[in-house]
């Protein structure tokens, strides 16, 4: 039986491997990441304290890492990061733009390190009008990460004016290859829509693959069902954003997804977590 791929760092000295050990669970070598960089793109995700409150809930629920822009991270209680890693997102673009697929760098690796980040992430839209610029930015960040010993998460998407809405499995595998060739340590990819085709993508990619949660699903249980299907493909982890912070019960969904990633992989058992009440505790 094929085992899940992992993010477990190799036993070599260096800042990158040490930081990677905070992003992945030391027992399983896998990770559950919650991206919360959406507010630049779509606007506020909630009240002014939404990020602080949600990150506290995620830390209690067992999430391994959260993705934030550097300015938003300043509004989060730093004690939350005693229990989870901080990934600072370096790319930005808005839905108000004339080119909604365009992404530019709005921060750097050194900026992220000054905040205490464990890793950085970049967003690249392959097939966009600005693909060339985005690839140049990706390469520049990758070189800086290598110099400073910082893990790089590449969020790779097939988006542009001359392509269909849903990428094929072959296109998703191509995105994984680009991330690998340009020096990413982890790649976030869309789900192919089927376990077998997603497994083929994972098998073609030498770096760990985390799968995006996509658009908000109708129910919290549907989120867990989707996660179970994805995890059966042998991925290294999940990167679910709006299906967590936008859930009816974010604490319960995050707890369930953490359990599934790190051992309880059947949605039926993980669904027991939906009975949990949301809570926020201090470190």
Nearest one of 40, 45, 36 to 68, comparing CA atoms: 36
Residue 140's CB is within 10 A of a number of other CB atoms, namely 14
CA 221 to chain centre: 20
Give the max Cα distance, the chain. 49
SS3 category, 52: helix
Nearest one of 197, 219, 217 to 209, comparing CA atoms: 197
Within a 13 Å sphere around the CA of 121, how many CA atoms are in the beta-carbon half?
Answer: 29
Q: Is the dihedral of CA 7, 212, 58, 261 positive or negative?
A: negative
SS3 category, 136: helix
- Could you list the active site residues? 37, 157, 188
């Amino acid at each position: 039986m094929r085992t899940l791929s992992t993010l477990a760092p190799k036993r070599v000295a260096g800042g990158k491997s040490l930081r990677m050990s905070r992003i992945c669970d030391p027992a399983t070598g896998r990770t559950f990441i919650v991206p919360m960089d959406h507010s630049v793109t779509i606007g506020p995700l909630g009240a002014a304290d939404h990020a602080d409150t949600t990150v506290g809930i995620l830390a209690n629920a067992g999430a391994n890492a959260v993705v934030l822009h550097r300015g938003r991270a300043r509004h989060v209680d730093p004690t939350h990061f005693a229990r989870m890693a901080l990934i600072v997102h370096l790319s930005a673009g808005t839905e108000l733009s004339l080119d909604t697929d365009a992404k530019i760098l709005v921060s750097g690796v050194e900026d992220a390190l000054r905040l205490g980040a464990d890793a950085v992430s970049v967003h690249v839209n392959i097939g966009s009008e600005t693909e060339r610029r985005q690839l140049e930015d990706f390469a520049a960040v990758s070189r800086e990460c290598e110099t400073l010993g910082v893990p790089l998460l590449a969020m790779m998407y097939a988006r542009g004016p001359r392509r269909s809405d849903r990428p094929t499995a072959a296109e998703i595998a191509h995105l994984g290859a680009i991330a690998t060739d340009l020096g990413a340590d982890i790649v976030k990819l869309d789900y192919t829509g089927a376990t077998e085709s997603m497994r083929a993508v994972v098998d073609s990619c030498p770096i760990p693959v985390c799968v995006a949660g996509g658009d908000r699903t109708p129910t919290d249980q549907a989120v867990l069902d989707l996660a179970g299907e994805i995890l059966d493909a042998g991925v290294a982890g999940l990167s679910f954003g709006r299906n967590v912070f936008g859930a009816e019960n974010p604490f319960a969904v995050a707890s369930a997804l953490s359990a599934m990633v790190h051992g309880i992989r059947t949605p039926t058992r993980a669904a027991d977590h939906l009975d949990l009440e949301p809570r926020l505790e201090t470190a």
